[in-house]
Amino acid sequence: MTSTTPVPYALLEEAADWVITLCFGEPHASDRQAFAQWHARSPAHAAAWARAEAMHRSFEQVSSPLGMTTLQGIDHGSRRRTLARLGALLVAVPAGWLTWRSWHELAPPQWTADVATSKGERRTHTLGDGTELTLNGNSAADVVFTETERRVIVRAGEVLVVTHADRTPAPRPFLVETPHGTAQALGTRFSVRLADGATRVAVIEHAVRIAPRSGQARLVHSGEQVTFDHATVLQSGAVDPNSYLWQNGMLVARNMRLADVIAELDRHRPGFLRCAASIADLRVSGALALDDVDASLATLAQRFPVRIRRLHPYWTVVEPLPTSATEKYSTKK
């Protein structure tokens, strides 16, 4: 694979994550072994690593502190995403020329969307028809109203929709679009979330008709939620009432993986917040404040065998306690 061969963006993000683990953290032997396995998986993996590592070196080699300050001061997305996008630009933009199309496609959605939030921010917008659109932290959406339909295109994160009756002579349908399909409101209140290569729709009131791009449409009733990709429904079940308490600044965890808890907290704190892989599956229950993530991290450190290590004000890692401290924790419990 040559240096000009396109590398899947998902691999660039994975490679950027490895840069963070190996170059900014304190990697364990297990981390290095996992990286070696990842790197050897395919030529594309090796090319992604070379590109992300090159971007990391370019920031280190800047004569002033500007390079690393650029990474450390990013609020509109994690450094992992920044390294990945810059890695894509390393070969995608000849002679440094960045066309508008390239910028729109490669820039973080929060920079180009009609409505957006950064990390640590939640915001409610009242649309032209009276519909309320609330964005979770680090989210982005476009709003496209025409004579025949009302459409919100979710480009990142999560939105909560409270629809309002359309008062035009011919009422227009209200749809929320994601990369995987659409959700049509049927007089309703519901949330739409992008995560892990799929879309999750949770219906709080009334009903929603979901339609995967290449699959069959399905009606989702109040109290139900479904997760689907472009082809089919992957999972369905009852709505967890705690899943949309983020609008009130709370995260209520019930036997959640620590990695998932940290990912949620990461939406609500500027900079980069990472969970070490060795403790990712630790189970967590409890209520955490989203408007004071540092206090929530301190709570986790008090209740579980983890420590909070701040590499920089914008770079925090949740790690396992040293072995001796873990033994003391187990004895105390």
Per-residue tokens: 12: 């660039």
Mean pLDDT, the chain, rounded, equals 80
pLDDT (0 to 100) of residue 24? 59
pLDDT (0 to 100) of residue 140? 93
- Please report which confidence band the pLDDT of residue 324 belongs to, taking 50, 70 and 90 as the band edges: very low
Burial of 207 (C-beta count, 10 Å sphere; 0-12/13-18/19+): middle
Neighbours of 144 (CB within 10 A): 13
Neighbours of 242 (CB within 10 A): 14
Angle at 27 between CA 22 and CA 28, to 5 degrees: 145
Would 2 be classed as within a structural domain? no
Structural domains counted in the chain: 3
Verify that 130 and 171 share a domain, yes or no: yes
Judge whether residue 31 has pLDDT over 60: yes
Helix (H) or strand (E) holding 233: strand 233-238
What per-residue string of b and e applies to 9-46 under the rule 16 or more CB within 10 Å gives b? bebbbbbbbbbbbbebbebeeebeeebeebeeeeebbb
First-residue to last-residue Cα distance in the chain: 53
CA distance 315 to 72: 7
Would 4 be classed as within a structural domain? no
pLDDT (0 to 100) of residue 75? 39
Inter-residue contact 185 to 163 (CB < 8 Å): yes
Which position has the higher pLDDT, 258 or 76?
258
At residue 177, the 3 state secondary structure works out as: strand
* CATH number for 287: 3.55.50.30
Instruction: Tell me what the mean pLDDT of segment 286-296 comes to.
Output: 93
Would 1 be classed as within a structural domain? no
Instruction: Tell me what the mean pLDDT of segment 57-68 comes to.
Output: 42
Which position has the higher pLDDT, 314 or 10?
314
CA distance 51 to 16: 9
Percent of the chain with pLDDT over 90: 49
Contacts of 65 (CB under 8 A, 6+ apart): none
Verify that 152 and 202 share a domain, yes or no: yes
Helix (H) or strand (E) holding 284: strand 283-289
Judge whether residue 121 has pLDDT over 50: yes
Judge whether residue 307 has pLDDT over 80: yes
- Minimum mean pLDDT range among 67-76, 129-138, 155-164, 247-256: 67-76
Judge whether residue 186 has pLDDT over 90: yes
Per-residue tokens: 255: 């036997």
Would 42 be classed as within a structural domain? yes
pLDDT (0 to 100) of residue 219? 96
End of a domain among 175, 208, 240?
A: 240
pLDDT (0 to 100) of residue 72? 40
Percent of the chain with pLDDT over 70: 76
Verify that 266 and 304 share a domain, yes or no: yes
Supply the Cα-derived Rg of the chain in whole angstroms. Answer: 21
pLDDT (0 to 100) of residue 294? 93
Verify that 224 and 148 share a domain, yes or no: yes
- Minimum mean pLDDT range among 23-32, 63-72, 179-188, 263-272: 63-72
Instruction: Tell me what the mean pLDDT of segment 45-64 comes to.
Output: 64
Verify that 16 and 74 share a domain, yes or no: yes
Comparing C-alpha atoms, which of 103, 92, 108, 1 is closest to residue 50?
Answer: 1
- Please report which confidence band the pLDDT of residue 182 belongs to, taking 50, 70 and 90 as the band edges: very high
Instruction: Tell me what the mean pLDDT of segment 147-167 comes to.
Output: 94
Can you give the residue range of the structural domain that contains 304? Answer: 249-332
Judge whether residue 261 has pLDDT over 90: yes
Phi, psi of 32 (to 5 degrees): -65, -35
pLDDT (0 to 100) of residue 23? 67
Helix (H) or strand (E) holding 116: strand 115-116
> H helices of the chain, where?
9-19, 29-39, 43-60, 66-72, 79-92, 100-106, 109-112, 258-266, 293-303, 323-332
Neighbours of 63 (CB within 10 A): 6
Instruction: Tell me what the mean pLDDT of segment 169-194 comes to.
Output: 94
Would 200 be classed as within a structural domain? yes
pLDDT (0 to 100) of residue 78? 46
CA distance 167 to 145: 13
End of a domain among 71, 89, 107?
A: 107
pLDDT (0 to 100) of residue 94? 40
> Residues 138-156: pLDDT tens digits?
899 999 999 999 999 999 9
Helix (H) or strand (E) holding 110: helix 109-112
